[in-house]
Amino acid sequence: MSASASGPAASAACRTAPLPVLGRDVLVPLVTGGEVTYAALDYAASAPALQRVWDDVAAYAPYYGSVHRGAGYLSQLSTDLFEAARAEVAAFLGCRPDDQVVFTRSTTDSLNLLAAAVPEGTEVFVFETEHHASLLPWRRARVTYLSAPRTPAQAVETLEKALAGREGNAEALVCVTGASNVTGELWPVRELAAAAHAHGARIVLDAAQLAPHHPVDIAALDVDYVAFSGHKLYAPFGSGVLAGRADWLREAEPYLAGGGASRTVARRADGGVDVEWHTSAARHEAGSPNVIGVHAIASACRALREAGFDALVARERVLVGRVLTGLAEVPGVRVLSLFGEGAERVGVISFVVDGWNSSHFAAALSAEYGIGVRDGLFCAHPLVRTLLGGEQDAPGECGAPEAAPGERSLNAIRVSFGAGTPDEHVDRFLTAVGELVRDGAAWNYRTEDGRCVPDRSGRPERPRG
């Protein structure tokens, strides 16, 4: 894939990040001496909080109070804020009038909630390419794992074939990502939803990597459920969302039993208790809710909508093109892809470097350039193993990840960015990759607690030339 825009106009559009984030001026020490502004290029794990989100949270903090059951002014204000956040998220997702928006802790929590709510005996269809949050929660269901497709069309064909082979009248649910947390590639969500519905199945969209980069519209995509996390959407504090059809959620046992989920509780003559549970989203929001986290998510949703996804997507395509073009010019670098060259991506790119252990390479980017990326299998072990095939991660003096019994050590490097990423971070990253491949690391590294870290005992004689 090459950059979709070029010239002075594109360059000007990318010069600065459109949405300022916290930490943009943080200085970090380099092992080689001096300091540099930290380049946060690990957005796929946790995006920096938007400055606007932080300001909104700070403005609310003095008014913080209990939610839903307090008579005091601050409690009522906090309740209004909490429910206004629910409406903001519903608008952000294009929810249908009858959809519920349930606040959770994360995408993982959201999908586990849905897994607990599916009717017993439900058949779940999930591609092996999913993040573990989508791959693992379905313990109450019969699960069919689908092999990794190599084109979007093959993904749809694979799903249609699997659904056509169903026997009986059990409920069925398809779980699919919107954008891969490993390759960044966009999945054909609308087409997969059409295939699911044609065979009487529902579909849940893991939008953890999609929502920060592209608009997510439940009605337009025709999906039944959407899950995403605040911490990937430029909002801190560990909140998430599950939104979608109300019937399974309304009929399921509460995800957590406790105050807030119950409408009435009364003792019975036999010593037990009778409970009437809420049928609204509160049914699955027991306990005191994370009102600050929920307010942060709503603030991030509002900021992204007001910034305009058309402009954000256009800018990110330029950055993606720049990174892919830059990596292609470095000998020995291979970008990982399911769907091949030209596939549409969000700002998530994984790669390997010939002759380098990926943990070692990531450690050198951090210690010698002040660049934060991620290395490993990215909580998507089956996918990364499929993408790497028979390639063993290069042996190195440190950081080699533990392999499963009988398997080779596999590992990759992931760079990810978004609306808070300035040009300089991308340019520094590409320069660093080129220098490390050409000249090697300027420092010795060792393994400490399973991680590759600089050896502080002294600098080797490896000047860059």
Quote the CA–CA distance of 105 and 230 in Å, as a whole number.
Answer: 9
DSSP run (H or E) holding 180? none
Quote the radius of gyration of the chain (alpha carbons, Å). 24
Residue 379 annotated in active site: yes
Q: Which residues, 6+ apart, have CB-to-CB distance to 278 below 8 Å? A: 260, 261, 262, 263
* Neighbour-count burial of 354, counting CB atoms closer than 10 A to its CB (0-12 exposed, 13-18 middle, 19+ buried): exposed
Which is the catalytic residue, given 14, 175, 301, 379?
379
Distance (Å, whole) CA 353 – CA 164: 41
DSSP state of 282: G
Return the residue matching tokens 């519920």.
100
Residue-wise over 91-126: b if at least 16 C-beta within 10 A, else e? Answer: ebbbbeeebbbbbbbbbbbbbbbbbbbbeeebbbbb
Q: How far apart are CA 9 and CA 301, in angstroms?
A: 28
- State the DSSP string of 299-368: HHHHHHHHH-HHHHHHHHHHHHHHHHHHHHTSTTEEE--SS-TT--B-SEEEEEETT--HHHHHHHHHHH
**Type of residue found at 434:** G
State how far the Cα of 190 lies from the Cα of 408, in Å rounded to an integer: 37
Residue 275, SS3?
Answer: strand
Residue 358 has, within 13 A of its CA and on its CB side, a CA count of 26
As annotated, the active-site residues are 379
